[in-house]
Amino acid sequence: AQRVTQPEKLLSVFKGAPVELKCNYSYSGSPELFWYVQYSRQRLQLLLRHISRESIKGFTADLNKGETSFHLKKPFAQEEDSAMYYCALSGRASGTYKYIFGTGTRLKVLA
Amino acid sequence: EPEVTQTPSHQVTQMGQEVILRCVPISNHLYFYWYRQILGQKVEFLVSFYNNEISEKSEIFDDQFSVERPDGSNFTLKIRSTKLEDSAMYFCASRGTGGDEQFFGPGTRLTVL
């Protein structure tokens, strides 16, 4: 079955501390994985996709096929990083590229 | 930068009433999606739409739901007879031909009383 798991509902860290938001997936085939961020009262915005291997706002994520993980990391958290973070998998197998989302992790960065 | 828009931002309706949620996708996109998020739960796929027809739908998308692209710009989700459990945030998304990335609208919060 296709599934995305984000084990933490809430993650609180102090400003300047490292952050790791966990994402594990289950998918038969070659997945496309994304991280979306939702700031308070705003729309879902793409933060990262695994295929581009870029760093956005200091965040990085590496696809580990052996561990079926796509964890999001940032070495030094900032207060403005406080938001909901969703890991998503693109369902290429179906041909429609629908997204399968995790339940999301709320990141709170404390001053 | 072009954005997906959705109207209304909040819709309150009585159980059994019909509602239409509207979306204007990004103009050169060809693939359209509806998702919903019940409060406290994950974002769930409802339906995808391409070339004026449904390309995939989830088990949530039963006969009470329908989608339409009535003109060249709007993409609508209709719920024929709303139930209490339809209360949720409904997100529209669109995708171009260049990749997998979907662009999301701000959502419509539907409250069924």
Q: How many other C-beta atoms are found inside a 10 Å radius of the C-beta of residue B56? A: 18
B78: pLDDT confidence band, cut at 50, 70 and 90?
very high
Is the pLDDT at B15 greater than 90? The verdict is: yes
CA distances from A83 to A9, A59, A96, B35, B82 (A): 12, 13, 28, 20, 31
**Mean local confidence (pLDDT), B47-60:** 93
- The residues with which B77 forms a beta bridge, in sequence order, are B21, B67
CB A59 within 8 A of CB A75: no
- Look at B91 and A44 and tell me if their CB atoms are within 8 Å: yes
Please tell me the predicted confidence (pLDDT) of residue B107. 96
Please tell me the predicted confidence (pLDDT) of residue B1. 82
Residues in chain B whose Cβ is within 8 Å of chain A? 3-4, 31, 33, 35, 41-45, 48, 50, 55-56, 91, 93, 95, 100-107
Residues of chain A with pLDDT under 70: 92-94
Please tell me the predicted confidence (pLDDT) of residue A53. 72
Please tell me the predicted confidence (pLDDT) of residue A28. 82
- Look at B43 and A44 and tell me if their CB atoms are within 8 Å: yes
* Average pLDDT, rounded, for chain B: 94
**Mean local confidence (pLDDT), B7-35:** 96
CB B50 within 8 A of CB B95: no
Give me the total of CB pairs closer than 8 Å, taking one residue from chain A and one from chain B.
56
Please tell me the predicted confidence (pLDDT) of residue B108. 97
CB A85 within 8 A of CB A34: no
Is the pLDDT at B72 greater than 80? The verdict is: no
Instruction: Quote the CA–CA distance of B11 and B19 in Å, as a whole number.
Output: 8
Instruction: Quote the CA–CA distance of A41 and A62 in Å, as a whole number.
Output: 28
**Mean local confidence (pLDDT), B51-79:** 93
